[in-house]
């Protein structure tokens, strides 16, 4: 989306006039740059089908667990938000809008309404219906369907996140479309690698069934390699791994094969499960060295904290909670084996800010394979991005970081999210310039590289 | 206390002129608002008796372990500070005053001297006696007795912290008094719930002796319920729990009864003790669902680090030291069972800042029962409060936080502490306004709610 | 080095004009103050021999693992940086100079080039040879030899780090020299205390061989005491301890003697090794109480993360990575026994920022023996220093911190490093002044004390 720098020029930029002057100059260089989104959760099918969005509730509430969790915390039950009448769902949000003040979600949503849909009515209980109706009017227009917005947003690359057994037909369809940019699949094999996943057994059975491979460890590895190859053929550039603990384990082939058999026969202990997960993360790195897929690890989230909510409403309903995270010892076996490989790109994401200066910047400041993932999930917000840059840059600079990823299901929020990151980055850069730590010329190069050269290098685009 | 905005208007507010302008505007809305203090350690007896304060040493040094610890670190032994001649004790502080530069304690004490007692002489060795004498003069005046100050401070609610077996007679006496505000008891049962507490055995015996309950687990639970009911009758709104580790455990009634018997017979292991503490924290949540008392948990402090000091001078002598803290897994059993209950309010306090963005904001952003406790103890200071708002707000907003608590024994410091929190909060809000993240109108509402509607909702006032 | 305040006055100081005004005033008080460097790694031999530096590669690249690690991360192999032709090594740095933007290393190096060598050409691929040649010209001048620079830098005290068996002849030689300041040895016994160190066995054998002591625990202790005495005789004021985990253990003499025997006979378990390290750290504190040597503990680094790199290039090659660190429980046995001793000065350094507000400030705010070490290693940078002051000061003030230590092997970088710390400290102080938290007069005293009285007290200079 082409931002109107004049109109919204002040947003999120430093308030000090001298720093703001520099920030505005830097921002003007990147405000309209194409969007590279190398990790996110927009369904390819949505773009392939290109159906119009239905209403404000569907667009802004029910599918966004950043939003529903806060309404739930305010006392609105999730059943009032999912199965309910959409206007009533939207009203819940409007009535509770003050609760989103200062949150990233609140900022994005206001930006989407104003900058994408052109609706600038302040959100509150009294305006709920007026906004709901205005959104309906806008969504009826063909130019607000997904593909049209994709072009308008200026998306250059959009990576989706996909099941390894997905046939990627939606992606095949999109390669034919004239979108002005590329939609790429991402290989996300968690449930095939984690014996504690509810669907692990059936997932591995289905995986093996797609091939002629026997139900041995080497057959299982070969099946995974086949599916990765399928993703490579469809333009995939990366694999993604969501783990509670960034733990890796290097064991020999016999030991791994025996472990696999225990796991498959359901004779494995909890320690075996951990070992299996840890070894498979290392196997993923091995495969990445072979096939060149970038490996992203999103670590440190305890999923589905509330069992009652999970039972009633499923996963991704707002109660995934971070835990203390450390990478130094847990990633060592993987890095000992593959960390110096030229072909490996390993992007480490965290929701535990303590690891930024303590571990991720030092690791990325040595291993050519390691990049510090941009602030993510709860940390994908203006202040948190500034804390990230402050914590990482003095040790690892800018060129060992990943570039922004939006990680979103909320398609309409993509320009707002990238814009926040761009503003936060130039805010940080402009302070460095005014503190005489870097020249303006260098800041200009870095600002540009952060939205283009850097994500292209990291994600091999 | 009515602050003089003109005179002290600059204190702690942002230096940038544009942000300061907004901050002053917001501060003017809350500077004189009544003080709601829903958690602290002022003795109800002090207000009931209403004796004059004795001297500067008693008022500012001997009873404030924030102060004595720093003098101890400077080489003044605690015996020189407790049993000693008060003028000499005060001189120790004055001679070491430069050591308090930049500390919260130093800021509070200067504010108390100037804003409450009207003494603006800079503190140093040379002025020690002059200030001591000036304080003596002021304290002789009847308007500086506790109840008169209570009224002058504009305290609307002051919660004390009390032993479960306290007869609460001081509170009964105060309900009759004309204070212009309410003094409420708080149920603090730590020594009755922790088998590792030195006085656990005698405490539980005394607890059971107050009732006709047998020395069984259910008798013990019933006795606790009785005492909570006693607190409710005397206006109590909350229970408070100080734990080193925020750990909870859900076990069935038979298992719990057997565990209780092992504990009482002193046959319990260290693991049993931990299990008992963890289960009793969960039982407290159950009782809160029943009787509606708000539950506050102050976690992560290793008490009495120096055994020699503890032996000689007792607890609360300055060597309670924080430890790494995590809530996500440890509070899960309690939240699984009671986290979705409408009647439960659970306020989680930490002295480990890492939990703010990593755990507390995400938990409070989902569970309707969970609130993020305000920065506390070592974190109750201007910069720390700004870090707290920055870490919490982008994930959980303002309305999932507790409002300020002063947690103090130092009655005279209450206005200064609340004033610091108000200034820090408007400093943060004014930056959001100037960064175009929230409107001034919304910031005004939030500033007001933080000192009134929010603590009233959280603490059911 | 005498800084030119006019020319470089803006560097790193706050951008806000009002705060900058105060900061410049404070900076003018300390800009030219003598350098006290109580911990670092400059070899005494370098100063004793006083050979000219060879070239830009030797001076700025090959011996500085802050620099080589980042080039390695950029894809330059370490073999291209160590054995290679120096001009080619320098070119690697120049080509990758944008990667150092915003890093502390980058800032120091530019400052060294401009302020020490007078070379102000911007670094890039095109200017690599020009700068290399310019450095050659400068280094040929006698005034750029180590001793001449030592005088020009205005070093008052420079502590080196030395093996306990070092004869300290270079130090003896330097005591005769007219340097305008003192060079002091530091006792660094890690490999003599850690059974997991590769050279532990041979080190202890060599230690015992220097004395008539038998190979018993008491003989081993006596030998260590002898060597400490040797350092005291040569002007040493401190011992330094690098540990992955700040763990201490108090066991009785018999148990310790038996443990020593198991360790020496290689019959010790991993737990024994940990116990031995923990007990020896406590023994070092005992010896410090006896001989008065200040004890510095640098904790929390996992050394030599990449085994392949360690095998090929040895230690200190850029892959020492921090781990989560906690002091509260691990240092308790040592503090229980010696923490209240007047003669003990224990300076705790961390690379885990989370410990600043959580543990180190509270510990130093009570124990007269404990000081919070200045930000170190990855945290020795402008933003990190401000975070440190913000995290520590509100709890422990300024007078429980250690004063700056540069910890560097890079002799030429010493003035730049101290200058960064001075600028960061006055930046912090000036904000406190403008927020009306301390007076300008007090800030002036603190600014001066931080570079003089404070390190002199902490390190008993």
pLDDT in tens, C267-301: 999 999 999 999 999 999 999 999 999 999 999 99
- pLDDT at residue number C216: 95
For B84, the domain range is: 52-143
The predicted-structure confidence for A236-248, as pLDDT tens digits, reads as follows: 999 999 999 999 9
Closest Cα in chain C to B319: C366
Find the mean pLDDT for residues B221-248.
98
**Quick check: B5 pLDDT over 70?**
no
- Residues C430, C376, single domain; the answer is yes
CB–CB contact A435 C12 (8 Å)? yes
- Establish if C18 belongs to a structural domain: no
- Establish if A29 belongs to a structural domain: no
**Count of CB pairs separated by less than 8 Å, A with B:** 134
| Average predicted confidence (pLDDT) for chain A | 96
Chain B residues in contact with A103 by the CB 8 A cut-off are 393-397
- pLDDT at residue number A1: 35
Q: How many domains are contained in chain A?
A: 2
Measured from the Cβ of residue C74, the count of other Cβ atoms closer than 10 Å reads 19
Q: Name the 3-class secondary structure at A197.
A: coil
CA distances from C317 to A369, B150, C199 (A): 17, 63, 18
- Establish if A148 belongs to a structural domain: no
| Average predicted confidence (pLDDT) for chain B | 96
Among residues A101, A122, A143, which one ends one of the domains?
A143
The single-letter DSSP state of residue C401 is B
The predicted-structure confidence for A78-124, as pLDDT tens digits, reads as follows: 999 988 899 999 999 999 999 999 999 999 999 999 999 999 999 99
- Establish if C150 belongs to a structural domain: no
- Residues C165, C267, single domain; the answer is yes
Handedness of CA B379, B383, B387, B392 (dihedral sign): positive
Closest Cα in chain A to C320: A362
**Quick check: A9 pLDDT over 80?**
no
Percent of chain B beyond pLDDT 90?
95
Give yes or no for a contact between C115 and C8, defined as CB atoms under 8 angstroms apart: yes
**Quick check: A354 pLDDT over 90?**
yes
What CATH number is associated with residue C59?
1.10.2020.10
- Residues B267, B377, single domain; the answer is yes
CB–CB contact A13 B437 (8 Å)? no
Closest Cα in chain C to A439: C101
- Residues C268, C383, single domain; the answer is yes
CB–CB contact C366 B321 (8 Å)? yes
- Residues B202, B274, single domain; the answer is yes
Torsion angle of alpha carbons A134, A139, A141, A147, nearest 10°?
Answer: 150
**Quick check: C7 pLDDT over 60?**
no
* Minimal C-alpha gap between B8 and chain A (Å): 23
Closest Cα in chain A to B439: A101
CB–CB contact A362 C321 (8 Å)? yes
Percent of chain C beyond pLDDT 90?
95
Q: What gap in Å lies between CA B308 and CA B318, rounded to an integer?
A: 13
Chain A residues in contact with B434 by the CB 8 A cut-off are 15
CB–CB contact C328 B305 (8 Å)? yes
* Minimal C-alpha gap between B312 and chain C (Å): 13
ipTM surpassing 0.90, yes or no?
Answer: yes
**Quick check: A3 pLDDT over 90?**
no
Q: Closest partner residue to B357 among A102, A106, A379, by Cβ?
A: A379
Q: Closest partner residue to C353 among A16, A358, A365, by Cβ?
A: A358
- Which residues touch C317 (CB under 8 Å, ≥6 apart)? C65, C68, C69, C78, C309, C310
Percent of chain C beyond pLDDT 70?
98
Give yes or no for a contact between B251 and B202, defined as CB atoms under 8 angstroms apart: no
The predicted-structure confidence for A284-305, as pLDDT tens digits, reads as follows: 999 999 999 999 999 999 999 9
The predicted-structure confidence for A12-27, as pLDDT tens digits, reads as follows: 999 999 999 999 999 9
Least confident of A75-89, B217-231, B442-456, C373-387: A75-89
- Establish if C21 belongs to a structural domain: no
CB–CB contact C368 B75 (8 Å)? yes
**Quick check: B100 pLDDT over 50?**
yes
Which long-range contacts does B16-22 make (Cβ < 8 Å, 24+ apart)? B16/A15, B16/A16, B16/B434, B16/C16, B18/A15, B18/B434, B19/A15, B19/B427, B19/B430, B19/B431, B19/B434, B20/B430, B22/B429, B22/B430, B22/B433, B22/B434, B22/B440, B22/B443
Measured from the Cβ of residue B265, the count of other Cβ atoms closer than 10 Å reads 8
Q: Name the 3-class secondary structure at C321.
A: strand
- Residues B165, B131, single domain; the answer is no
- Residues A137, A280, single domain; the answer is no
- Residues C116, C204, single domain; the answer is no
- pLDDT at residue number A8: 61
- pLDDT at residue number C132: 98
- Establish if C296 belongs to a structural domain: yes
Percent of chain A beyond pLDDT 90?
95
- pLDDT at residue number B8: 61
- Establish if B8 belongs to a structural domain: no
Among residues C120, C143, C166, which one ends one of the domains?
C143
The predicted-structure confidence for A196-241, as pLDDT tens digits, reads as follows: 999 999 999 999 999 888 889 999 999 999 999 999 999 999 999 9
- Establish if A40 belongs to a structural domain: no
CB–CB contact B321 C394 (8 Å)? no
Q: Closest partner residue to B306 among C340, C397, C446, by Cβ?
A: C340
**Quick check: B1 pLDDT over 50?**
no
Q: What gap in Å lies between CA B412 and CA A10, rounded to an integer?
A: 43
Q: What gap in Å lies between CA A174 and CA B3, rounded to an integer?
A: 65
Q: Closest partner residue to A366 among C72, C351, C353, by Cβ?
A: C72
**Count of CB pairs separated by less than 8 Å, B with C:** 135
**Quick check: C212 pLDDT over 90?**
no
CA angle A107, A109, A114 (to 5 degrees): 95
CB–CB contact C102 A399 (8 Å)? no
- Which residues touch A335 (CB under 8 Å, ≥6 apart)? A363, A367, A369, A370, C305, C306
Give yes or no for a contact between A322 and B328, defined as CB atoms under 8 angstroms apart: yes
Q: Closest partner residue to A438 among C102, C104, C352, by Cβ?
A: C102
**Quick check: B149 pLDDT over 80?**
yes
- Residues B272, B133, single domain; the answer is no
* Minimal C-alpha gap between B70 and chain A (Å): 28
* Minimal C-alpha gap between A341 and chain C (Å): 10
Characterize the bridge pairing of strands C301-302 and C321-322: antiparallel
Give the closest residue to A367 by CA, choosing from A344, A390, A333.
A344
Find the mean pLDDT for residues B72-95.
94
Burial class (CB in 10 A: 0-12, 13-18, 19+), C226: middle
**Quick check: C186 pLDDT over 70?**
yes
Find the mean pLDDT for residues C319-336.
98
The predicted-structure confidence for B355-365, as pLDDT tens digits, reads as follows: 999 999 999 99
| Predicted confidence band of residue C211 (pLDDT cuts 50, 70, 90) | confident
Higher pLDDT, B278 or C1: B278
- pLDDT at residue number C139: 97
The predicted-structure confidence for C222-236, as pLDDT tens digits, reads as follows: 999 999 999 999 999
Q: Closest partner residue to A302 among B329, B354, B367, by Cβ?
A: B329
Among residues B143, B177, B209, which one ends one of the domains?
B143
SS (H, E, C) C188-206: CCHHHHCCCCCCHHHHHHH
- Residues C137, C161, single domain; the answer is no
- Which residues touch C128 (CB under 8 Å, ≥6 apart)? C90, C91, C93, C94, C95
The predicted-structure confidence for C48-95, as pLDDT tens digits, reads as follows: 999 999 999 999 999 899 999 999 999 999 999 988 899 999 999 999
- pLDDT at residue number B432: 98
- pLDDT at residue number C8: 61
What CATH number is associated with residue C282?
3.20.20.140
H or E, element range at B159: strand B155-159
- Residues B320, B397, single domain; the answer is yes
Q: Closest partner residue to C363 among B103, B308, B321, by Cβ?
A: B321
Cα–chain center distance at C363 = 21
CB–CB contact B378 C400 (8 Å)? no
Q: What gap in Å lies between CA C328 and CA C332, rounded to an integer?
A: 6
- Which residues touch C10 (CB under 8 Å, ≥6 apart)? A435, A436, C20
- pLDDT at residue number A214: 83
- Residues B235, B116, single domain; the answer is no
Q: Name the 3-class secondary structure at A422.
A: helix
Handedness of CA C438, C441, C445, C450 (dihedral sign): positive
């Amino acid at each position: 989306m082409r931002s109107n720098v004049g109109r919204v020029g002040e947003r999120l930029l430093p308030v000090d006039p001298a720093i703001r002057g520099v920030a505005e100059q830097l921002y003007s260089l990147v405000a309209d740059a194409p969007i590279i989104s190398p990790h996110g959760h927009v369904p390819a099918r949505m773009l392939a089908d290109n159906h119009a969005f239905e209403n404000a509730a569907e667009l802004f509430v029910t599918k966004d667990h950043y939003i529903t969790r806060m309404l739930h915390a305010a006392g609105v039950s999730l059943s009032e938000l999912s199965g309910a009448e959409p206007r009533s769902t939207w009203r819940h949000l409007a009535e509770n809008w003050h609760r989103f003040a200062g949150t990233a979600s609140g900022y994005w949503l206001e930006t989407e309404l104003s900058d994408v849909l052109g609706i600038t009515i302040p959100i509150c209980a009294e305006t709920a219906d007026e906004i709901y109706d205005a959104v309906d009017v806008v969504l009826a227009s063909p130019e607000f369907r997904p593909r049209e917005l994709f072009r308008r947003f200026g998306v250059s690359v959009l990576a989706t996140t996909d099941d390894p057994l997905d046939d990627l037909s939606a992606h095949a369809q999109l390669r034919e479309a004239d979108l002005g940019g590329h939609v790429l699949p991402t290989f996300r094999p968690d449930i095939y690698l984690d014996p504690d996943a509810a669907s692990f057994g059936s997932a591995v059975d289905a995986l093996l069934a797609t091939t002629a491979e026997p139900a041995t460890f080497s057959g299982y590895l070969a099946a995974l390699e086949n599916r990765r190859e399928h993703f490579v053929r469809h333009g995939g550039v990366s694999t993604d791994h969501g783990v509670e603990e960034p733990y890796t384990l290097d064991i020999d082939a016999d030991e791994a094969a025996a472990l696999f058999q225990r796991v498959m026969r359901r004779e494995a202990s909890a320690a075996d499960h951990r070992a299996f997960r840890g070894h498979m993360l290392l196997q993923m790195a091995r495969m990445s060295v072979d096939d060149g897929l970038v490996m992203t690890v999103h670590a440190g989230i305890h999923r589905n904290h509330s069992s009652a909510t999970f039972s009633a409403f499923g996963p991704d309903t707002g109660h995934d909670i971070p835990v203390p995270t450390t990478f130094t010892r847990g990633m060592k076996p993987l890095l000992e084996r593959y960390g110096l490989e030229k072909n490996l790109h390993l992007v480490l994401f965290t929701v535990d800010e303590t690891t930024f200066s303590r571990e991720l910047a030092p690791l990325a400041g040595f291993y050519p394979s390691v990049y510090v993932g941009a602030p993510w999930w709860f940390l994908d917000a203006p202040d948190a991005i500034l804390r990230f840059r402050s914590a990482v840059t003095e040790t690892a600079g800018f060129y060992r970081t990943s570039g922004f990823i939006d990680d979103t299901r909320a398609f309409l929020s993509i320009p707002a999210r990238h814009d926040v990151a761009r503003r936060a980055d130039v805010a940080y850069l402009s302070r460095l310039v005014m503190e005489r730590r870097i020249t303006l010329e260098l800041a200009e190069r870095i600002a540009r590289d952060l939205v283009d050269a850097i994500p292209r290098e990291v994600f091999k685009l």
